[in-house]
Structure 1
Amino acid sequence: MIRLILVDDHTIIRDGIQALLSDVAELEVVGQARNGRELLDMLPHTPADVVMMDLNMPELSGFETMPLLREQFPEVRVLILSMLDHEKYVHQILTAGALGYVLKNAGKEEIVHAIRTVASGRPFLCTEIGLNLLHKAIEAPSSGGPKKPNDLSNRETEVLRLIAEGLTNAEIADKLFTSKRTIETHRQNIIEKTQAKNTAALIKYAMETGLLA
């Protein structure tokens, strides 16, 4: 069972999401909070696996709450649910420690997938943000930045983008019509080239180098 707390200053959003998730067997909404302050007050007596949190909130915003969560409740995984789709906000909050980011216009299937992915400890970016970042990367002029050492191959870049979307090795293999072992090899090559220690570090590398921004 995945225990979930919803954090948003709009009651209709919280209640709507709770109703949306009511028939998902492995999810249980154990609490609601209007802002980061209420969340921090709630967590000591309401244990949760995942917090799904808005960014723009009064008293204590998502940006302000994130470092406090990392310090006080490092075991809680954070999924951002926001209307802010600019890559700088995505980068800022993921760097601060959030594990996933989904837009409020996402459908039920994607929201449930995001919660499951984050609960399992894997990063998640919703499809719309992933596509926007991909389009920007494609449209960016080839000379628009310094050459990076240990450049990734086209296939490795493609694999890294899918990792950033929260896909598993098996899911990436299916999407690229190749074997899981091949994807594992690509992933290891990416880790060696970027010197990233884990998946979150890989995504941070991709965003900081402009690959996903």
Structure 2
Amino acid sequence: MIQILLADDHAILRDGIRALLSREADLCVVGEAGTGRQLLELLATTPADVVLMDINMPVLDGFATMPFLREQFPQVRVLVLSMLDHENYVHRMFEAGALGYVLKNADSAEITHAIRTVAAGQPFLCTEIGLGLLSRVMERTPPPAAGARPAGSPGGSPASPAGRADLSGREREVLQLIAEGYTNAEISEKLFTSKRTIETHRQNIIEKTQAKNTAALIRLAMAEGLIA
């Protein structure tokens, strides 16, 4: 059972998240806080595996709370749940010690998947931010010159990318749909399988490619020809 603390200054949002997570057998909300200070006080008496925390909070916001969390409760994993989608906020929270970042407009499947991923000690970045970052990276990166050879490709023959053969056909299907911006729930509908199965495929893809987040995963997949 993954024990979760919610930290957000909007009670109605906390109620919604609690209701959402109550439908998941392996997720349990053990407490709520409206400020960063309340969160720290609550953690002193309430063990938790994951803190689902907003950035904009009174008294102590997410940025100010992170150093105390890392110092006093280093075993607790932090998943940011925010409406702030600029890469500067994402970078600052990851640099401060957060393990995941998901937007409040993400669907329930992505939020629950993010919690499970972070609880397992793996980083998570929601699809929308990942695709946005990838788009900006591609805008800044000039296309290769005509006739340029791929790195490590003697005689002009494309190198066989490491890890390409490791992905199953179904994993490549899932990877392609991730790159196209589909959520886990939408992918499960398209492939006529359960969301849990898609989550498993997604985790296997990340482990096999060693990608740290969605943006890195898609960038690697495009570079290695794993997706169209």
Q: Which runs of 5+ in 1 are unaligned?
A: 144-150, 160-168, 191-198, 207-213
Residue matched to 2:129: 129
Residue matched to 2:90: 90
Rounded Cα–Cα distance in structure 1 between residues aligned with 2:125 and 2:49:
18
Equivalent residue runs for 1:1-213 within 5 Å: 1-142=1-142, 174-175=171-172, 184=208, 187=210
Rounded Cα–Cα distance in structure 1 between residues aligned with 2:11 and 2:110:
21
Report the CA distance between 1:172 and its aligned residue: 11
Residue matched to 2:147: none
CA change 1:172–1:121 in 2 (3 A) is: farther
Rounded Cα–Cα distance in structure 2 between residues aligned with 1:45 and 1:126:
31
**Per the alignment, in what secondary structure is the counterpart of residue 88 of structure 2?**
helix
CA change 1:37–1:71 in 2 (3 A) is: same
**Per the alignment, in what secondary structure is the counterpart of residue 81 of structure 2?**
strand
- Displacement over 3 Å in runs of 4+: 169-173
Rounded Cα–Cα distance in structure 2 between residues aligned with 1:152 and 1:113:
36
Q: Deviations over 1:2-28 (max 9, x none)?
A: 000000000000011001111100000
Rounded Cα–Cα distance in structure 2 between residues aligned with 1:36 and 1:119:
20
Q: Deviations over 1:65-85 (max 9, x none)?
A: 001100000000000000000
**Per the alignment, in what secondary structure is the counterpart of residue 78 of structure 2?**
strand
Aligned residues between the structures? 170
Percent identity, aligned pairs only, is 58
For normalisation by structure 2, the TM-score amounts to 0.66
Task: Tell me the C-alpha RMSD between the 2 structures.
Answer: 3.3
Report the CA distance between 1:33 and its aligned residue: 0.1
Report the CA distance between 1:94 and its aligned residue: 0.2
Q: Which runs of 5+ in 2 are unaligned?
A: 144-150, 154-158, 177-203, 220-228
Residue matched to 2:226: none
**Per the alignment, in what secondary structure is the counterpart of residue 28 of structure 2?**
strand
Q: Deviations over 1:52-101 (max 9, x none)?
A: 00001100000000011000000000000000000010001001100000
Residue matched to 1:209: none
Rounded Cα–Cα distance in structure 2 between residues aligned with 1:15 and 1:139:
40
**Per the alignment, in what secondary structure is the counterpart of residue 89 of structure 1?**
helix
